[in-house]
A and B are shown apart, each in its own frame.
Chain A
Amino acid sequence: MIELKNVVVKAKNRLILDVPELHFEKGKRYGIIGENGSGKTTLLRLLMGTVKASQGSIEGLNLDHKVGYLPQSPYAFSFSVLRNVSMTLEKEQARETLAFNTLEKVGLAGLIHSKGSTLSGGEKQRLGLARVLAVPKEVLLLDEPTSATDIRGTDLVEGLLQEWFEKTKGLLIFTTHAPAQALRLADEVMFLEDGKVIETGSPQDLFNHPRQEETRAFLSHWVI
């Protein structure tokens, strides 16, 4: 279990995140929703250690190779797509085969010889996911993993995440701007506003019966 206690993140005296208490349990999928600038990305970066807390503590997360993080705009290196994935598999004997198999899963097998830097935004996100999934992980932290993918790509990514979760029973934490995605993927949804966790609950409860005024206001913009 990952536990955050009295965590505050500030940047140039501006409060970015203020979390008195929050925990994530292994074997669950958490969807984090909220407006732009609500602190979703900062929360993931904090867990990944790329952002430092001004105060408070985070316990239970060992940042080793079993934790994978996918940034919102993953970088695609200028070498081949295949090498973009095999770079994470340096210790493996059959790394090119493993990389190819993972790329096949994300639908990029036909682009293995293309330069990573020539891919579209959605393809880069799928490449980033392949890179993260190429090595077995127990914890996945994904920052809007489908923000640039088309509906087919989104379906593919969500299917892969379901498959990963069923296989590993690990911990999945993802941010999304699409409440429908949280409904499909998450066991628990957190709504963030101005760096604070306003409300948490099951997707059904939070979306159908939001308790807080802020959550209701945010969800009122949800148009299908």
Chain B
Amino acid sequence: MELINSILELLFGSDPELRQIIAVTLRMSLFSTLFSSLIGIPAGVLLGANDFKGKAFFSRLVNTLLGLPPVVAGLIVFLLLSRSGPLGSFRLLYTVEAMVVAQVLLITPFIIAMTSNLVGVNANSINETLTGVGIRGTKRLKYFLLDFRVPFISIILAGFGRSIAEVGAVQMVGGNVQFKTRVMTTAIMMQTNMGRFDFAIALGLILLLISFLVNSVVNRIQKVAADD
């Protein structure tokens, strides 16, 4: 009973740390999903809709990166951004920006692969149809984006889901710094280790609630996009 009270207090109270954690989590997840989508969707369309030399290699590369363990992505970004690394002068380690970079590295291959598989099914038919009316080259990208706008939203949503749930890479490059880079997943892990289960459960519930709200908004956007 005490645990439930404690959870409710956290959920409906105004704990400054909790608010900060939610804000950082949303900022990191939204920006990493945005950048991954801006890179991954056009790249996925180019990969799925075209036949070119090296396509099989690129597809294999993307599929390999799908299996990239988050801690390895975290390690790569850590080494790049650490003081002695090639990008050390930017002093990004243990910032939200570093966490976004690590997330982009993890999510972009996922978005490329899903987009490529999606458009690849009808690519020949679409290309032939567009060629038949004189729409060639890069102009075709617009029609692929328009035609698959609804499933693309699902892919972006899946990318967001991966981002918000990730823990390994963000822990490594973010450092779980209180009031700075602490996100829900790293906070849940830490609070569990400290035995503060009420806080961990409250964070878990909020994480689920955010996912639910984002899904609801996205479903609405999908309906509007489908009716367009």
Contacts and interface: CB of A to CB of B under 8 A. Distances in A.
Interface of A: 45, 48-50, 64-65, 67-71, 73-75, 77-79, 87-88, 128, 131-132, 135, 141
Interface stretch (B12-20, B74-82, B120-128, B169-177): B120-128
Nearest to A140: B132
Contact of B143 (A45, A65, A69, A87): A87
A50 B131 CA distance: 8
Interface in B94-138: 122, 125-129, 131-135
A71 B133 CA distance: 11
Contacts of A141: 132
Interface of B: 122, 125-129, 131-135, 143, 146-150, 226, 228
- 5 A-B pairs with least C-beta separation: A69-B132, A75-B129, A65-B134, A75-B125, A71-B128
Nearest to B139: A90
A13 to B, nearest CB: 18
Contacts of B135: 87-88
Nearest to B122: A75
B127 A50 contact: yes
A78 B133 contact: no
A75 B147 CA distance: 11
Contact of A128 (B122, B127, B129, B131): B129
A132 B147 contact: no
B134 A48 contact: no
A79 B147 contact: yes
Most buried by A among B128, B132, B146: B132
B218 to A, nearest CB: 18
Contacts of A131: 129, 132-133
A49 B131 CA distance: 9
B154 to A, nearest CB: 14
A88 B129 CA distance: 11
Contact of B134 (A45, A50, A74, A88): A88
Most buried by B among A65, A68, A74: A74
